[in-house]
Amino acid sequence: LYPTADLASKAVAQEIADLIVSHQRTGDWTVLGLATGSSPKKVYAELIRLHREEGLSFRRVITFNLDEYYPIQPDALQSYHRFMHEHLFDHVDISPENIHIPTGTLPADDLKAYCADYEQKIQDVGGLDFQLLGIGRNGHIGFNEPGSHQQSTTRLITLDFLTRADAAAEFGGLAQVPKRAITMGIRTILAAKRIVLLAWGEHKATILQRAVEGPVSELLPASYLQTHPNATIIVDEAGASELT
Ligand code: F6R
């Protein structure tokens, strides 16, 4: 619990930076699982500051994003490709070949093989060292909507009404929001060595309380984090307001 999202985001960015630096010392790569949306923006801003002002390098960093709308063009205003480049990748020294974001453009018939390959790529680099998450108002993590199985892996999913409604303003209306998305699965996320979920503001307080204090249930995918040995929920005062 931090008094503000600002302070909390700086602490999370520092943890990521420390991880990168400690791996660099031993010549190891750091594999980051990344999220989009409003929650991680300040973490990325702080990582950019650490790169610019304190010499933090992303040369030995590999990233895998959680999700992407489907279908969507990478240069669309709302695409997660665009988000990641604007909020982080364009401002640090990461190599383009080390960036992985699920595709929004492949034909649907190719997605099964594509998703299996995305999983394999994560395995091939030794798994995720650190996974950053936000939480949807329906309790989703990534785009693992309620009903997502604990053993789910990267796949094409149908977005919940609430998720699409929350994205409607950004797309200029509900009808423009894609109906589907590709997301890493619950199993993919839970296999990360370290997980940090960010939740800022009053509008996240109720779902966060249920995710943390309620039973573990596929009806509330964020509750699966209770089963992870090294997961931390980082909240500001407003986000924590319903916790007992
Ligand atoms: C985004 C993602 C989603 C968001 C969640 C919260 O990559 O995976 O699960 O983290 O919808 O979104 P914000 O942070 O915009 O409230």
Nearest to residue 181, comparing CAs of 80, 75, 88?
A: 80
54, 145, 170, 218: which is the annotated catalytic residue? 145
Q: Give the pLDDT confidence score for residue 58 in this predicted structure.
A: 98
Q: How far apart are CA 204 and CA 98, in angstroms?
A: 32
pTM above 0.90, yes or no: yes
Instruction: Tell me, yes or no, whether 58 lies in a domain.
Output: yes
List pLDDT tens digits, range 51-95: 999 999 999 999 999 999 999 999 999 999 999 999 999 999 999
Instruction: Tell me, yes or no, whether 244 lies in a domain.
Output: no
Cα(143) to ligand 1 centroid in Å equals 8
Q: Look at the alpha carbons of 116, 121, 122, 124 in this order and tell me if their dihedral is positive or negative.
A: positive
Provide mean pLDDT across the span 157-165. 98
Instruction: Tell me, yes or no, whether 203 lies in a domain.
Output: yes
Instruction: Tell me, yes or no, whether 215 lies in a domain.
Output: yes
Q: What is the mean pLDDT of the chain?
A: 98
Residue range(s) defining the domain that contains residue 23: 5-235
CB 201 less than 6 A from any atom of ligand 1 = no
Supply 105's token pair. Answer: 């453009």
Instruction: Tell me, yes or no, whether 201 lies in a domain.
Output: yes
Instruction: Tell me, yes or no, whether 240 lies in a domain.
Output: no
Provide mean pLDDT across the span 40-45. 98
List pLDDT tens digits, range 108-132: 999 999 999 999 999 999 999 999 9
Instruction: Tell me, yes or no, whether 149 lies in a domain.
Output: yes
Instruction: Tell me, yes or no, whether 243 lies in a domain.
Output: no
Cα(35) to ligand 1 centroid in Å equals 7
What is the ipTM metric for this complex? 0.99
The CATH number covering residue 90 comes to 3.40.50.1360
Cα(136) to ligand 1 centroid in Å equals 6
| Domains identified in the chain, total number | 1
